Amino acid sequence: MSGFQSPRGLRDIREPDASAFAWAEEHAWSAALAAGYARIQLPVAEDSALFERAIGGTSDVVTKELYRLAVRSEESTPLALRPEVTAGVVRAYLQHGMRSEPQPVRLVTVAELFRHDRPQKGRYRQFTQFDIEAIGDAGSGIDIEVIELGTAYLRSVGLRDIEVHLNSVGCPTCRPGYLVVLAKHFAAVADRLSPVDQARLEENPLRLLDSKDEVAVAHAKGAPRFVEHLCADCAEHDRAVREGLSIAGVTVVDAPHLVRGLDYYTKTAWEYLLPGEQGQQGALGGGGRYDGLVELLGGPATPGVGFAIGIDRVVLALQERGLTPAPQRPPAVVVCGIEPGSVGMRIAIASELRASGVSARADVSTRKIGKQLESAVRDTAIAVIIVEPDGSLSLRDLAAGSQAEPGARAMVVSAAAQLARTQGGQ
């Protein structure tokens, strides 16, 4: 055994988990593409300043969790592994002139992300997210569309009792007044707050609602509600979103202290949770509106909204409920051969079967035919094609335990394909 192991917080994903991940990801792509969202693939690393500016210098993601890459002498720009997707999507929106396209621009990706966080159940340092972004529409309708799309996806994979915990975090008009009230509330326990939270109290009191420190968490329970300090525009937007979600059949739970973990959110903010769960630790995902982010990153004022759902957490939730799909079954047909020199023909026949839509593999070993057949049985194959010494083919039906007389290649390959389709549903 090698002395090397996967680094802490990073892991190998093997069967049956690998099939469950692929299944959840395929459902994510299908849900988004069917709703009119276009694929986008982003680089795994970006200018670290992009995340620092977009996410906020006082957020845990930037201060504690960002993986910064060492700067090589020939590079002038410090890079960081992406900890989230939205900043990169907005960067791409600006870089590629997407503002000139019909708005909103609807984009989807399923991406690997990295955060130097304390590994725990459902949280890893490398993880996968299903991300949806809609940029260029300030109306409440796009909020409803995006929130419902995430809900529909989670329901489609089997999490039918999903809840949307919803809040409004205001806008530049009403947020300053709320921050004054919030700072006054936490000032009563300022001397008991951690040094990090004391800095937040001075720089951005909103982050205290997202703190994991025991003193801040306890005091946050009695904090003033943002909804009571919204301006007229934010209050109307919040009302319209809630009304629309109700009509769309989405269960909404009021979450007056939900702020998410990133500084760029405005107005609508939400999380997807299963009944009985609470907080970001229990959330399957979440999102919000970010009407000031494009401008913050150097573009013109442009509204946006999006969500990210953790594939790792979705798979874990499904496993806990016994809902994970069966792993990908082994090939339905195995092509064996009696003579070692038949390996090339075995591979060609297996390739021909796959081209016709039937899963197949060639046994490329030089083992005796008995051992090859044992391997096919162990892999739960439906049929075995045997290349005879004279080049003819025999077909063995493993379920029936019968073997046909040797025949011509086209006839035997066709019969094997039909057997696989009939018994294996291919």
Mean residue pLDDT across the chain: 90
Match 């340092």 to its residue by tokens: 125
pLDDT-derived band at 204, boundaries 50, 70, 90? confident
8 A C-beta contact, residue 109 and residue 42: yes
Which pair of tokens denotes residue 416?
């094997």
Higher pLDDT, 168 or 399: 168
**Which pair of structure tokens corresponds to residue 74?**
């020939």
Contacts of 149 (CB under 8 A, 6+ apart): 31, 32, 35, 132, 307
* Cα 199 to Cα 40, 51, 250, 365, distances in angstroms: 37, 20, 38, 65
User: In the Cβ-directed half-sphere of 366, how many Cα atoms lie within 13 Å?
Assistant: 2
What distance in Å separates the CA atoms of residue 249 and residue 237, rounded to the nearest whole number?
Answer: 19
Residue with tokens 């995902």: 285
Distance CA 44, CA 107 (A): 17
Residue 60 has pLDDT above 80, yes or no: no
Does the structure show a pLDDT above 90 at 195? no
pTM recorded for the entire structure: 0.86
| Among candidate residues 240, 25, 54, 232, the one with its CA nearest the CA of residue 147 | 240
User: 405 phi and psi, to 5 degrees?
Assistant: -65, 150
| Gap between the Cα atoms of 20 and 324, Å rounded | 6
In the structure encoding, which two tokens stand for residue 180, read together? 């004054």
* Domain 333-424 grouped into CATH 3.40.50.800: yes
Which run of H or E residues covers position 39? strand 38-39
- State the Cα–Cα distance between residues 129 and 265, nearest whole angstrom: 18
Residues 391 and 377: their CA atoms lie apart, in Å, by 23
Q: What is the predicted pLDDT for the residue at 250?
A: 95
299: helix, strand or coil? coil
pLDDT at 72 over 80: no
φ/ψ of residue 151, rounded to 5: -65, -45
Question: What is the arithmetic mean of pLDDT over 168-178?
Answer: 90
**Bridging pattern class, strands 333-337 and 383-387:** parallel
**Model confidence pLDDT, tens digit, residues 362-383:** 999 999 999 999 999 998 999 9
Q: What is the pLDDT of residue 117?
A: 83
Which sequence spans correspond to the domains of the chain? 17-174+230-320, 333-424
The position carrying tokens 């943002």 is 226
CA 322 – CA 20 distance, rounded (Å): 12
- CATH architecture of the domain 17-174+230-320 equals 2-Layer Sandwich (3.30)
- Percentage of the residues of the chain whose pLDDT score is greater than 70: 96
* pLDDT greater than 70 at residue 70: yes
Give residue 134's pLDDT band: very low, low, confident or very high (50, 70, 90).
Answer: very high
Listed in sequence order, the residues at least 6 apart from 24 whose beta carbon sits closer than 8 Å to its beta carbon are: 157, 311, 314, 315, 318
Helices (H), 188-273: 195-203, 214-220, 232-247
- Token pair belonging to 373: 């057949």
Do 130 and 61 contact (CB within 8 A), yes or no?
Answer: no
What is the pLDDT at residue 150?
Answer: 97
> In which band, very low, low, confident or very high, does the pLDDT at 262 lie, cut at 50, 70 and 90?
low
Strands (E), 228-373: 252-254, 266-273, 285-289, 304-310, 333-337, 360-362
Please write down the long-range contacts of 345-349, taking CB distance under 8 Å and 24 or more positions apart: 345/387, 345/391, 346/387, 349/385, 349/387, 349/393, 349/409, 349/413
99 in Cβ contact with 123 (< 8 Å): no
Q: What is the pLDDT of residue 278?
A: 63
Residue 282 banded pLDDT, cuts 50, 70, 90: confident
The predicted pLDDT at position 293 comes to: 93
Pick the range with the lowest mean pLDDT from 17-21, 25-29, 132-136, 218-222. 218-222
For the segment 140-162, what is each residue's pLDDT rounded down to a tens digit?
999 999 999 999 999 999 999 99
Minimal CA–CA distance to 124: which of 83, 86, 87? 83
**Ranges of H-type helices in 360-408:** 369-378
Under 8 Å between Cβ of 32 and 108: yes
Which two structure tokens, joined as six digits, stand for 240? 């319209």
